[in-house]
Structure formats: structure tokens, C-alpha cells
Structure 1
Amino acid sequence: MRRVHGNGRSKTSVGWWPCLLLALAAGGTALAQQAPAPALEAGKGGAVRTSYRVVNLGSGELSALPKINARGQIVFSMWDGAASRGYFYDGRTVRDIGTLGGSDTVALGLNNAGQLAGGSFTATGSEHAFVWSAGGGMLDLGVLPFTGNSRAQAINNRGVVTGFSEGVPSTPPLAFRWSVSEGMSSLGALAPGVDGASWGAALNDAGLIAGAANTASLERHAFAWMPARGLVDIDTLGSLDSDGIAVSARGEVAGSRLPADAAGYRAWLWTPGRGMRDLGAAGGVESFTLAMSPGGRIAGLVTLAGGDQRAMTWTRTEGMRLLGTLGGANSRSQQANDRGQVVGYATDRNQAFRAFAWSAKAGMVDLNTRLRNAPPGLVLDDALAINDNGDIVSSSNAGLVLLTPSHGHQGGHVVGPVAAPEVVRAGAAFAASVAWVDSARVGTRSVSWSWGDGSGAQAGKVREAGETGSASASHHFALPGVYRVTATVIDRNGRSTAVSRTIVAAASAAGTVAARGSVLSPRGAYRKAPSWVGKAAFSLVAPLAAMGPAAQMAAMPAQMHFDLPGLRFHSSSLRFLGRQGAQHVFDGEGAVNGVGKARFRLATTVGLAGAAPGRFALKIWQPDPVSGKEVIHYDNSGTPSAEAAAPLVEASVLAQ
């Protein structure tokens, strides 16, 4: 087995279908002012550095980006293997918020009262917008007339919701506003008839709603909706494409736009007095707005001439500022608060992804260096959300975690990642282990292992000494495939924490390849969120000889999984087409976010000896049910920067 890194070096490994395509940027809800957050100190001259306690939230692939409110409550959504589930962290425990009677729920909005908003499937298979609270449960908001599906994107502190409602395939999506007193009403459109699509994305407590809508010339323009004026096209710069993704407390709207010369996207800010203002690109070729704090600080990224990207932040007083990296080639700002802190990811000198927090005083800080009593092996790879208290939500190799400024507190029972090889041989035994830190010395009651292959739970052997503990177990997979291995740790207070890891079991037959890894998904590849850049995970079990489907399935259950926040593709069929230059080429069919039948084509160096740097060029598409035209969900093989297309970050591969 070998692990291939994006720098080409190898080392031995140890150890819609519409409503389900998720909008990644939504926000603008004004947050209540809190006590000043602890500053991130540089640690020089005797300054005290902020350290963070870690709280496990959930383990698995994100189906939407998380949100955190002023009280430290969190909403997040994850795939459970078969469906998307929505979760709410109330400051002490995590709750599954359920569904409207169907399979999936995605939670996208959160306000300071602890109300959530999103979309959930009903028993009849339609998706409906909802509002959820701990006291009231899930409330179905219904749909607009002549539509069958709806989804809420954001909720403000007064409980007002925005989103969109549509009828697939005949009725275009229309932005809506919902309140308890008035119910759901359409915000209208900028173009008449079937071309008049609109999507609500963000709102503030004053009721200003922002989003995007098609124009009569079939361009997409950002809009602002106000009770007195209705839906207004705010793209005063004549863009080919623009969208409003965030609203500040003072009524500013921010987003990204493609100018008429199509030279590259630009971040912009709109105000009622000045209209739309292009914010430039700070010397780069493109800039994107990804989020804006209630006070108006923008977080996003800038694309440089060579294709690398840099995290950026913008304020009215300082303009646009690039935040650098941690020694690597890329970085990205995910969110900012009104205390001058920005969070996101940056690559280090080894091009590994690391979660960061930035402030003008401390610069960019690797959050992995600020953890207090962290469990062994824990690595934070992306900071996704922050509030004004400095609480941070981050992804990690142990799942989603909350980082809270420690203030000297020791913390509680924190579980680290599952340690196991990512690729194993079917029929051969392998070992898995998990470790934790128990700084409060609560003690551990039990650890159980689930292997994801229907073999049933297995008790793990627990070892504890002082504040640390671990458990291990061994297993073998009878058949090749992609499996989710989960360790559930229960402390003596009854609190359960589950962490998991995807493992690919390789076939014993010759002429096969099995791999698990990640790619750096470039700008433009994910068509529903063209500014999204980040790690996407893949799993592959495939033959390396052309054969018919029946013969293929008799030989091995070929599979390809591809996951990023908002897009989940699992193949139902896969075939090897042959070699194309220095790449293996596959195609097949599968489901996007568990729905429909999409096609895919994959050209990759995975499984080829000496191929460096690795490539993983993937296209996922399906025909529109009405027009028959090709609708592309994902394509990193034809992105604007050919050199940036589909580089492997790392992969564990077993080819034979």
C-alpha cells in the first residue's frame, strides 16, 4: 500500500434533484452584541495565547456547512450513510432534529433564539421548508401555490424565514418570505413566465432579504427585497452573473459577480445609497465573497494569476486584505466575526490542510497549535464558523468539533479519530483503535465498534490511565467495498460520542484497484457553488480490466463515492474503459444526494505506479427532465485553470 501526496512523493502508509443540491453560503442574520471575545495573541513579550477546549459534535461527511449563534448553539447536517440528518447542539448535548416524515433533513439557518430553518422530506417524497425549535419541534412551512417543494435558507432573530419554493420540473423556483403571522408569500421575480426564477438566501432583522433572480435576458442578478419596494435588481454594474449571499445588520448586501468582460469573478458590496461597488481582487485575478459578519466584515478568497488562492477579508476602513498561508500554496476564509477574527483553512509547508484563525494583532494562527488537552492524533483541517465570543466550529479527522476559549477550564471527555488503515484487503484482519482525553476524570463505561458491513457491534478492549484512555479491536471484511467504521465511546455519565472513518476493502483478485483519499476541488467545479474550493473525499473500488457489468459484479462490487459539503455522489454501476495516456478511465451511473440517476466519467492516475502528481478528473451530469439538455453537477476536468484541475491531496492506494 502506498500513500500518494499532491507533491508527487510516496511513502508507506501505516496504520432540483434540486432541493438536495445545497447552497453553501447563507447568512446575514444579525447577532446580538456579546462581551469582547478573547484576542488571539501572538505569544510574544509575555502575551497570553488563547487556547481552546475541544467538544465532539458529530462524525461523518457534512451535507451542509454549520452555523453558530451568539449563544454558542450550533446547527449542522451530516450524511448518516443513507440520508442527510440535521443536528442541533444546545451548548451541552447534540440532538437529531428529525424529519417531516421522509428520509432527509438539511438544516441551513440558525438564529439567536435557537430556532433552525432548512428543508426536510415528507412521507410523500417532497421537500418542505421547516422551522424547528427545542420546545416546538419541526414546523412544516408548506410550499407556494403551484409548487411541490421548498427549502428555507436563513432565519432572522424575529423568526422570519427566506428560501425558495419550486415545482419540478414545470414551475421555476421563487424566493419566499415566511413569518408566523403572515405565512409563506412569494417575493416575485425579475423576469416573467417560466424564466422568472428567484432564490432567497439571506436576511437581517430589519427584514431586508437578498438573493439572486433571473433577468429577462436570462442572466442571474443579485436582488434586494424590502417590504416597501418589493424585489429590486441591485446589480447596477451590468454583470453577466451575480448573487447576494449575505446581509449586514445595517442593510448592506454582499456577494460575487462576473463582470461583462467575463475576465473573472469579483467580490462586491451593495448599499442603498451607493449601489453595487466592485471590491476588486487585491492584485489577483478573481475574488469571491463567502460570508459577511453582521457588522459588515467580509470573508472570502482571492485567486492569484498562477491559480493558487488566498484567504481575504474586507472592511470599509481597511479595504481588501490577503491573509497569507501557513507556508503552503493556498488558503480560504470561511467566516468572520465583528471582533476582527477570521477563520478558514490554509495549507502548510507540506501542503496539508490546517484550520486557522486570523486577527490583525496575531496574524494567521494554526488552531492545531492552540488546543488544550487534545486527544492523540486529532487534526483540525478547516475552521467553518465563528461567533463574537470566539467559539469556532471546525472539521477534523475526528469529525465536526467545537473549539471554545478555555479560560483555564480543563474540559471533559474528548474523543480523537479512529486510527486504522484507509485501504485494507478483503479477508485479511486489520486493527483499529481510538483514543480519548478525560481531563475531568469522568471515566469510560464502554466502547463498541460498528464495521458498517452488517456484522453487528463488537465490544472494544478499554484501557485507561489517569486522564487518557484508548480502545482497540480487529476485524476483517468478507467482501470488497466501501465501509464506515464507527467507534462509540460512552463515559460513566452516559454521554455517548461516536467517531468514524471510511475504509475501502480491496478485492483479492488481480487487476483491481482500491483507493481512499481527497482531491483539491478547484474553483468552478461544483456548479451550484462556483466559488467553492476545498477538499473533496473519494473512495474507489474498481477493476482494471474492461468487462461487462455482469462479469464485473460477479468479480467484485465496483464502487465510486465522491463527497463534499452539499454534494454526495455514490455510484450504482462502474466500468473500466481502459487506459488514456497516463490515466485510468472509468464511467458509470449513480445518485446525486441520494436522488435520481446521474452519469459520471473519471480519469485518474490512482493505481498507476510512478504517476506524480496524482490527478482525479471527475465529471458528474444528467439530462434535464424537460429540455433534455446536459445538467452538470460537478466537473473538475474542465475548470478555467487547467493546471489546477483535480490535483490529489493524498490517497491510500492498493493496486494489484
Structure 2
Amino acid sequence: MHQTWTIQPLLQQRAMAVAVAGAAAGALAAMFSSSPATAAATGPAASAAPAITPAGTVYSIINLGPDSGGTALLNERGQAAFNSFNYHGGTNGYFDGDRIREIGTLGGSYTEITALNNQGVVVGSSEDGAERSNVLGFTWTAAGGMRALPGTSVASAEAINDLNYIAGLNAEVGISARAVRWNPGGAITPLGPRPTSLSEASAINQLNVATGFADSASGTINATLWDASGKPTNLGTLGGSRAFGFHINARSEVAGRSDITGNTREIGFFWRRLGGMLPIDGGGPLTDVADLNDRTEAVGYTLRSDERLVAYKWTPTSGLTQLPSLSFRDAVASAINNGGDIVGSAQLPVGQGYAASRAVRWGGVTTPIDLNARLYRAPAGLIVHSGHAINDAGVILANSNAGLVMLRPGTRGTDAPVLGPLATLPRSVELGQDLTLTVGFADNSVTQTHKASVVWTDGCPSPAPTVREAAGTGQVTLRHRFCAAGFHAVRLRVTDSGGRSTELLQDVTVEDPAQASLSGAGTLHAGTAATGRTTSAAPLRFSLWAPLDGASQRAGAAGVMLSGPFQFRSEQVTSVSREGPLARVSGTGRFNGRAGYRFILEAQDGGSQNGATDRLRVRITHVDATTDTDVVDYDNAAPAKLRAATPARDLSAVADGSLTLQN
């Protein structure tokens, strides 16, 4: 099985909720998993029963890529595929169990990875190099590289099974897109009849049974199941006007999300042929299903009316059971394997945002274990703040303050160095400020030596990094003074004497105190924000900088980066204005890598109002090519029905970080 921790594209109009940051105190619990050594030797075995690993399992650490809210996928062989987006471009890769290989693009500037099977085949959508660029579905393998799937100029491969049947969507004349299946030879099988405007297949199992949704002439969007021949079964809704099938297991059972009667709340659902659609309802304004395993166990979280996020496990016989989180504020369950082991995150009782979270593991409905307490030879300063995927061998993908990492049971990861975070690098710095940064590292070979290289994207000169080390651990020290305002990044590479290297990449905003500007970085409250056809409770991470006085700036320096329920990077700032403590910025950019989207930000600097809360209103839209009308892709000024459900929750409030209006 694989898990995805980002939002899968629905022609950039749909978003699934992702795990928010969280943390929990450590406590021992039984962990169910199969032996990692056996998994590596034999490959996936769907029928093999997981073995019991003794309590106290430790994890080796493998750095994979930057953390910017991108996609992370894990298969049963311990291979991973990932991509992330930052202001200076996208990063993607495939980890074969030992080394990372770049996946690349079809010739353009963008690739979105959506699925990985147990044969190491990666699928998704990618921009080609045509004059009028197309976004096409693709498959990628380490041996054969990337190839485009047959289809139109707007297509996306959303899921793949181990037989290499692929489910997704393909645009057709007169409608936005239609759910399709690509067969191993490349032939396209349409799924179900032609929809009124849009249908999409989101997941597929080994029987070639797929799930997703399809709209109807009445305007209702129904969760849908398609059998191996493409014949549809309308799963319906839970009384509302929308339902989406997101997960399907080996038994062709489906889980997803649906509006209830009156469309006042969205809750999870479970469907099977005998029994139909059952609600998964935590009682709050939103209950999301994050994963469904082959034992008919679902996990996810509920956003409660008191603004808490509560992790849960659900089965048809036991119903919804809240997972223990001790005294912590919020908890989210992100994935469950076939042994019943769950990973996610929980929030520390003080502070807000990613800095106050810890990745956790539940061994069923037990007290969570802080994974940071189980890391083997962790570099100095490393904090694993959210768990996103776990396979049956107990391998985990997680986000950390050093980016995406794999946690592999046992004491040996790979031969590459393991890097900690860029310590003391803030989200924003002042122009001309001297920085001294340190990065800790560890290597499983105590005899190797290491060297470091660094790139500062402002192009300003800086001394070479220095390395101090002894017995397989060490520290890199960097010094720099930024000489240009705007968005920049630090890219550090540490290479050992055996030729293996690991890279860190982190964005930073450089502010000029002498220039009127809007700047900031942080996280907006988790909550229900309108995201096209559905809603998301994911927190929105932001960084932005724009001059407000009409002064010139280096090309590309001004802009906006957003990540969480989607990825957005501005390409052009077309308008800025200011009225007292309120600034308005608008322009164009790329939503999940695709061009042609417009954004409007309204930022309020609470500091200029005697310490009032900073607020950021975000609205992203595009023009539908078929109807020539504006479509809202994201708006954190939630619809009235959602505001009524959570009247105290201000989704524009900056929960972690700040905004600054510089005079």
C-alpha cells in the first residue's frame, strides 16, 4: 500500500486534507510489522501476515528531500517517491532503497507525482516542452525513465496498481475531464458514461476496481466505483450534494468524504457492497478519512467545534474510537498499515505551528510513541514533526525540520550522511544581517571524512563552509551576509570520502528595513477553507515579500509561496496597495505547478494595532477553459455554512510566524 500526504489534483479544484503538525509524549507500545530484512529479500507479499516486532524499535534516518508540503509515497519494498515545491523550483526524486534518482519532467518545468506501486513504477502528471505547454499523464521507472501516457493536453495519472493499470482523468471536448484507466499497453478505457462536466478516478486496487467521483445533470457529485470493465456503481452521498471516493482496499471497500444533508458539514464515509455507505462522523464540522487498510480499518482526524483536531481509528463493528493523545492539543492519524500500526502527529501543549509538533506512532488504540525518542544516532537538532506513511514492514515517511526523511527500523540506513536542520536560520532576515549557521551530521562509517559546499541564491560572496568531525559525527558551519532583498534559498551539500552525498534546501525571505514592503512567513490556522469542490482542514504555510513603494527589485525576488492543501508559487506580482495596517497584493502564479492562476492576498499587520493578531486572507482562482467562468481554487474566507459551524475559528489568523508592513 502507499500513502500520499499532499493534495491530489482535481484539475486543481479539489483538495484532500493533509496531516497537520502535532506531538505526543513517548510511551512504549507493541508495534506490528514484518521483518525489514525479509521484505528487502522477498519483495512485497500481500498475503504475508506481519510479524510482531518487540517494543523499543529504533529507526535509522535517511534524508530524502526538502519539506515544503509536497507529495511523499511509500511502497511495501521500502522504496519512496516524492516531490516538493519551493520558490526556486521543484524537486522530485525516487529512492530505490539505497540511492535517490531524479524523476525529471516531460520537458517543461513541472512534475506532480501522485502514486507509486510495489514494482517501483511512479505515475503523475508533467508539463511537456511544447510552445503551448501541455500537462500529460506519465509513468516513470528507474530503468526506462519518463514516458507520456496517451491522452489530451490535460490529463493526470492518479493511481497505479501492481499490475500497472493506472487510474486518473483525461480531458474531453466539451467537458473538463473524464475518469479513465490506462491499461499496461497504454490503451485508454473510459470509466462509466460521459459525465456532465467532470469525473475522476482517485484510487485503484489489484482487481482493477477503481473509485473516485462523477457529477450528474442534477448537480450532485457522487462517490463512484468502477469495476474492471469500467461499469460504474453510484455510491451516492450521505444526504448532501457532494461525495468523493479517495481510498479503496483489496476487498473493493471504499472510504472517502461526503457532505451531510443540508451541506452544513463534511464527514467521512465507508462503503461496501453489503451494507452500502456508512458515516464516519466525529461530531465536528469536518471528519476526514486519511487511510483505509485491507483489514477494513480506517484512520483520520476530526475537526471539533472547540477547534481541536482529534485522531481516530474506525471499524464497521467498533465505530469511531478516539486515539489517545494524552494532554496534547491536537492529534492527527495519517496512515495505517495492515498490521494496525498507525502514524501521524500530535501537538505539544505550548506553542503553535510545526516547531511545536512531533511525529508519533500508535500501535493500534494505544498511547502514542514519540518517534523522536526512537531515532538512532540522530544529528544534532533534528526533530521529526509529522508522520505521513507506514508500510507493513514498519518503514515510515515523515517530515522533519531537515526535510522529508525515511525512518527505517534498525540501526543501518544508507551509506550517505544523515543531516540535521540548518540551525538558527530564521524564516526571514534583514538585508545585510550576518548569519552563522550550523548543521549537524552523522555517518554510519566512523572512518570517513566529509566536505561541504553551499549555494546562496542571492549570489553574494561568503566564506567556504567549515567542517569539524570525529568518529562519524560532525558539524558544518556556514557564514553569510545577504546583499539582496526578496526570496532566496540556501542549498547545502555534505559529501563523504566514499562519494555519497546528502543535500538540504531551505527558503529564506530577506527584508530591507529601508524599503516599504510587505513580508512574512508562518502558518495559518488549520480549519475548513473552501478549496474548489471540497474543503480542507490543512494548515496553510506561507512566505511572502513584495515592495510597496514602486521601487525596482531583482527579477523574481518579489512573490508568494504557499503550501499545505496545495502548492502555489507566484510568477508575477501585478498590483500592490496599502491602507494603514492593511496591504493588498495580487498577481499570477502556478497552482500545483500549473500556470494561469490568479491570487489576491489581503494582509493585516497586527503589530501596528497594539499587538493585535496578524491576518492573511488568501484567494486563488482560475478561468475554466470550457465555461469561461471564474473558478475558486482556494479561499480561506470560508463559506457561510462553514463559518456557522465554527464561528470562533478565524482561518486568516496567523498561528505561527508573523506579517510585517515596513514603512
- TM-score, normalisation: structure 1: 0.86
**2:426 corresponds to:** 421
**2:635 corresponds to:** 635
**1:329 corresponds to:** 329
Shift of the 577–464 alpha-carbon distance from structure 1 to 2, 3 Å rule, reads same
**1:312 corresponds to:** 312
1:562-601 equivalences in 2 (<5 Å): 562-564=562-564, 566-570=566-570, 572-573=572-573, 576-579=576-579, 583-593=581-591, 594=593, 595-601=595-601
Matched position secondary structure for 1:369: helix
Shift in Å, 1:269: 1.1
Shift of the 557–406 alpha-carbon distance from structure 1 to 2, 3 Å rule, reads closer
Q: In 1, Cα distance between the equivalents of 2:192 and 2:249?
A: 22
Contact 1:335 / 1:342 at 8 angstroms: preserved in 2?
A: yes
**1:216 corresponds to:** 217
Matched position secondary structure for 2:373: helix
1:137 is aligned to 2:116: no
Contact 1:236 / 1:275 at 8 angstroms: preserved in 2?
A: no
The amino acid that maps onto 2:578 is G
**1:482 corresponds to:** 487
Which of 47, 68, 71 is the aligned partner of 2:77?
71
1:277-296 equivalences in 2 (<5 Å): 277-281=278-282, 283-296=283-296
Q: In 2, Cα distance between the equivalents of 1:619 and 1:226?
A: 38
Residue range with higher mean Cα deviation, 16-25 or 555-564:
16-25
Shift in Å, 1:190: 6.3
Shift in Å, 1:81: 4.1
1:459 is aligned to 2:464: yes
Residue range with higher mean Cα deviation, 428-437 or 171-180:
428-437
Matched position secondary structure for 2:585: strand
Could you list the runs of 5+ residues in structure 1 that have no partner in the other structure?
A: 1-15, 42-47
1:474-623 equivalences in 2 (<5 Å): 474-509=479-514, 511-527=516-532, 530-534=535-539, 536-543=540-547, 547=549, 550-551=550-551, 558-564=558-564, 566-570=566-570, 572-573=572-573, 576-579=576-579, 583-593=581-591, 594=593, 595-605=595-605, 608=608, 610-623=610-623
Describe the superposition over 1:230-287 as per-residue Cα deviations: whole angstroms up to 9, x where unpaired. Answer: 0221116443100000111011011111022223112111111222122332x44432
Shift of the 17–379 alpha-carbon distance from structure 1 to 2, 3 Å rule, reads closer
Which of 85, 88, 92 is the aligned partner of 2:94?
88
Matched position secondary structure for 2:206: coil
**1:5 corresponds to:** none
Describe the superposition over 1:383-432 as per-residue Cα deviations: whole angstroms up to 9, x where unpaired. Answer: 11111111110011101000112268898631001122332221232222
How many aligned residue pairs are there?
A: 615
1:433-444 equivalences in 2 (<5 Å): 433-444=438-449
**1:354 corresponds to:** 358
1:403-418 equivalences in 2 (<5 Å): 403-406=407-410, 413-418=417-422
**1:50 corresponds to:** 57
Contact 1:431 / 1:473 at 8 angstroms: preserved in 2?
A: yes
The amino acid that maps onto 1:380 is V
Shift in Å, 1:649: 3.1
The amino acid that maps onto 1:61 is S
Q: In 2, Cα distance between the equivalents of 1:284 and 1:266?
A: 8
Shift of the 21–62 alpha-carbon distance from structure 1 to 2, 3 Å rule, reads farther
Shift in Å, 1:313: 1.6
Q: In 2, Cα distance between the equivalents of 1:600 and 1:326?
A: 40
**2:22 corresponds to:** none
**1:446 corresponds to:** 451
**2:50 corresponds to:** 36
Contact 1:54 / 1:411 at 8 angstroms: preserved in 2?
A: no
Shift in Å, 1:227: 3.2
1:119 is aligned to 2:125: yes
Q: In 2, Cα distance between the equivalents of 1:554 and 1:488?
A: 26
Shift of the 21–435 alpha-carbon distance from structure 1 to 2, 3 Å rule, reads farther
Identity %: 28
Q: In 1, Cα distance between the equivalents of 2:637 and 2:238?
A: 31
Q: In 2, Cα distance between the equivalents of 1:412 and 1:100?
A: 29
Shift in Å, 1:453: 1.9
The amino acid that maps onto 2:76 is A
Contact 2:416 / 2:496 at 8 angstroms: preserved in 1?
A: no
Contact 1:417 / 1:500 at 8 angstroms: preserved in 2?
A: no
**1:4 corresponds to:** none
1:178 is aligned to 2:182: yes
Q: In 2, Cα distance between the equivalents of 1:533 and 1:25?
A: 5
Shift in Å, 1:83: 4.2
Shift of the 440–604 alpha-carbon distance from structure 1 to 2, 3 Å rule, reads farther
**2:299 corresponds to:** 299
Q: In 2, Cα distance between the equivalents of 1:574 and 1:609?
A: 28
Matched position secondary structure for 1:598: strand
The amino acid that maps onto 1:618 is V
Q: In 2, Cα distance between the equivalents of 1:457 and 1:186?
A: 57
Residue range with higher mean Cα deviation, 343-352 or 252-261:
343-352
Matched position secondary structure for 1:234: strand
1:22-33 equivalences in 2 (<5 Å): 24=16, 32-33=46-47
Matched position secondary structure for 1:250: coil
Residue range with higher mean Cα deviation, 379-388 or 644-653:
644-653
1:226-305 equivalences in 2 (<5 Å): 226-227=227-228, 230-235=231-236, 237-281=238-282, 283-305=283-305
Matched position secondary structure for 2:236: coil
Shift in Å, 1:151: 0.7
Matched position secondary structure for 1:261: helix
Q: In 2, Cα distance between the equivalents of 1:160 and 1:555?
A: 44
Shift of the 326–31 alpha-carbon distance from structure 1 to 2, 3 Å rule, reads farther
Shift in Å, 1:490: 0.7
Q: In 1, Cα distance between the equivalents of 2:612 and 2:634?
A: 24
**1:44 corresponds to:** none
Shift of the 521–576 alpha-carbon distance from structure 1 to 2, 3 Å rule, reads farther
Shift of the 479–85 alpha-carbon distance from structure 1 to 2, 3 Å rule, reads closer
Contact 1:141 / 1:184 at 8 angstroms: preserved in 2?
A: no
Contact 1:61 / 1:565 at 8 angstroms: preserved in 2?
A: no
Shift in Å, 1:532: 4.0
Which structure has more relative contact order (CA 8 Å, sep 6+)? It is 2
Contact 2:431 / 2:482 at 8 angstroms: preserved in 1?
A: yes
Shift of the 607–525 alpha-carbon distance from structure 1 to 2, 3 Å rule, reads farther
How much is the aligned-residue C-alpha RMSD, in angstroms?
A: 3.0
Contact 2:178 / 2:194 at 8 angstroms: preserved in 1?
A: no
**2:208 corresponds to:** 207
The amino acid that maps onto 2:362 is W
Q: In 2, Cα distance between the equivalents of 1:564 and 1:239?
A: 26
Shift in Å, 1:162: 0.3
Q: In 2, Cα distance between the equivalents of 1:234 and 1:264?
A: 19
The amino acid that maps onto 2:145 is G
- TM-score, normalisation: structure 2: 0.85
The amino acid that maps onto 1:138 is M
Shift of the 528–314 alpha-carbon distance from structure 1 to 2, 3 Å rule, reads same
